Structure 1
Amino acid sequence: MTSRVAAAIDAAHAQGRGAFIGYLPAGFPDVRTGIEAAVALADSGADVLEIGPPYSDPVMDGEVIQEATQAALAGGFRLRDLFPAIAEITSRVDVPVLVMTYWNPVVQYGVDRYADALVAAGAAGLITPDITPEEAGEWIAASKRTGLDRVFLAAPTSSDERLEMIAKASTGFVYTVSTMGITGERADLDAAARTLVGRLRAAGAERACVGIGISTPDHVAGVVDYADGAIVGTALVRALRDRGLDGLAETARALAGGTARQPSTR
């Protein structure tokens, strides 16, 4: 089956730019506004949406996203609310929607049941930050059965052997971690990301998108000089928190403006 996420990234490339992948937590600041925020993000230039169901122990997330997900949980958001929200988003936007989730809720729900619910809601697949390919046999089987994309993470500390495993197991793209640590904005992106993308390409990855620490149009422009796309989360969540839907849309448009490539760039 054709990867909808890969097709979206390739479509951006055909337009002479890198892909802009935007993250928002589900249910923030409430379920209805969270849906409208995702639609606004797609309408403002995101090529792929990442929707993150709130989780009680978000070990990878920085302060801004942690606070947003805790607010969503405090507001009553539960996993059962995720699939109807995704279904409404996918009915209103043309861009693929990935769910970025910690693994425990998927196991608790049932891997095949979760996959079938994603398909029914129109989602494109999962990003799984805390499970590695060798631990993900049940999910890999379910994604092959359903045609859902599976996006694994690669870090600068990964060995070449592990990068080959990640590249082979991933579809859509490999989520390339720009720096070691939690998500959040950085004044300067770690140069290790450029090296890691090169290593991933050598390992067979067809598409590598860089996330963690990307918060400005200049960051986006720097990333798409060598990677297939830039992933932004914290800057978008902060804009939504502080300036509402209009502020989110304005920030997204500015970030999307950083995706244009120079003619000599890949």
Structure 2
Amino acid sequence: MSRLLQTFRDLDNKKALIPFVTAGYPHPHLTVDIMHELVRQGADVIELGMPFSDPMADGPVIQKSSESAIKQGIGIEKTIDLVKQFRQQNNSTPVVLMGYLNPVECMGHDHFVSAAKSAGVDALLLVDSPPEESSDILQQLKTNQLEQIFLIAPTTTEKRMTMICEHASGFVYYVALKGVTGSADLDADSVNADIKKIKQHTDLPVAVGFGVKDAASAVAVAEVADAVVIGSALVSALGDCDDAATAAKVIADFIKPIRTALDSL
């Protein structure tokens, strides 16, 4: 069983917390420390963003973080190396790489998947690579026993939802907003209704992201979802951190209330 699915099984109905951070932001030397601190404060899975110059699905906060990381020399290969460094002390927390197809194409599917597997990556989420266009890399991931996470949006038809669920592995990521990350407040009732539909098509865990920004919004969608993903609000909070101690305090102040709220369900 994969590390990702084992983590969800071990939760035993507890809700998973999946924080998103951008590799290399706010500073490359802080990324591994940030990842470890997220785990200490209750993260079950880490979603690590691969900086990209044209992150079309991301709002201004994550766009800015990608631009900053790229200026500091962080690209796809260095992102993978950061996971390798993280694995020197943590071999249990799943890491999902989130990003876009172009850098993966430039690196080459074989090279990318091999490097990711060797570093200890568990899954890949490519925003602009739907199942219809993912056959090559999906085969590479399957061969190397890595998961490919696919997105389902509020506008996804039930027919297409069925097809996505047939190809997905690890978990299904439900996009709670019709927009980019961090763009608006979510409608919990609508989100929960859609998650119930998704669960009719798959036994995989369902995670909700885009619009989850604090304990209240996390709890609102976790009633039905198996996991919540928090990105823009956390990335924004980390923006002014220059050292590991400051980052640790920011993470504790941000994550603890959300972890406590989820555990109360």
Asked whether the equivalents of residues 53 and 67 of structure 2 are also in contact (C-alpha less than 8 Å), the reply is yes
Distance 1:61 1:54 in 2: 11
Residue 82 of structure 1: aligned partner: 79
Q: CA separation of 1:10/1:189 partners in 2, compared to 1, >3 Å: closer, same or farther?
A: farther
Distance 1:214 1:185 in 2: 10
* SS in structure 2 at match of 1:134: helix
Residue 40 of structure 1: aligned partner: 37
What letter matches 1:83 in structure 2?
I
Asked whether the equivalents of residues 177 and 186 of structure 2 are also in contact (C-alpha less than 8 Å), the reply is no
Distance 2:176 2:156 in 1: 12
Residue 248 of structure 1: aligned partner: 251
Asked whether the equivalents of residues 113 and 141 of structure 2 are also in contact (C-alpha less than 8 Å), the reply is yes
What letter matches 2:263 in structure 1?
A
What letter matches 1:8 in structure 2?
T
Residue 178 (structure 1) aligned with residue 176 (structure 2): yes
Residue 26 of structure 2: aligned partner: 29
Asked whether the equivalents of residues 185 and 234 of structure 1 are also in contact (C-alpha less than 8 Å), the reply is no
* SS in structure 2 at match of 1:182: coil
Deviation of residue 185 (structure 1)?
Answer: 5.8
Residue 93 of structure 2: aligned partner: 95
Residue 204 of structure 2: aligned partner: 206
Q: What is the aligned length? A: 259
Distance 2:7 2:235 in 1: 23
CA deviations on 1:206-255 (whole Å, 9 max, x unpaired) are: 21110000011111111210011100001211121145412123212222
Distance 1:207 1:79 in 2: 27
Segment drifting more, 53-62 vs 242-251 = 242-251
Residue 49 of structure 2: aligned partner: 52
What letter matches 1:137 in structure 2?
S
Deviation of residue 190 (structure 1)?
Answer: 4.9
- Percent identity, aligned pairs only, is 29
Aligned counterpart in structure 2 of residue 226 of structure 1, from 215, 224, 232: 224
Deviation of residue 173 (structure 1)?
Answer: 0.5
Aligned CA RMSD, in angstroms, stands at 1.5
Asked whether the equivalents of residues 46 and 95 of structure 2 are also in contact (C-alpha less than 8 Å), the reply is yes
Residue 215 of structure 1: aligned partner: 213
Query: Which stretches of structure 1, 4 residues or longer, exceed 6 Å deviation after superposition?
Result: none
The two structures have a TM-score, normalised by structure 1, of 0.92
What letter matches 1:174 in structure 2?
V
What letter matches 1:32 in structure 2?
H
* SS in structure 2 at match of 1:231: strand
Residue correspondence of structure 1 range 61-210 to structure 2 within 5 A: 61-93=58-90, 94-184=92-182, 186-210=184-208
Distance 1:187 1:163 in 2: 24
Deviation of residue 175 (structure 1)?
Answer: 0.5
The two structures have a TM-score, normalised by structure 2, of 0.93
Distance 1:145 1:250 in 2: 40
CA deviations on 1:125-184 (whole Å, 9 max, x unpaired) are: 101111110110011101110100110000111111111111111111001010110000
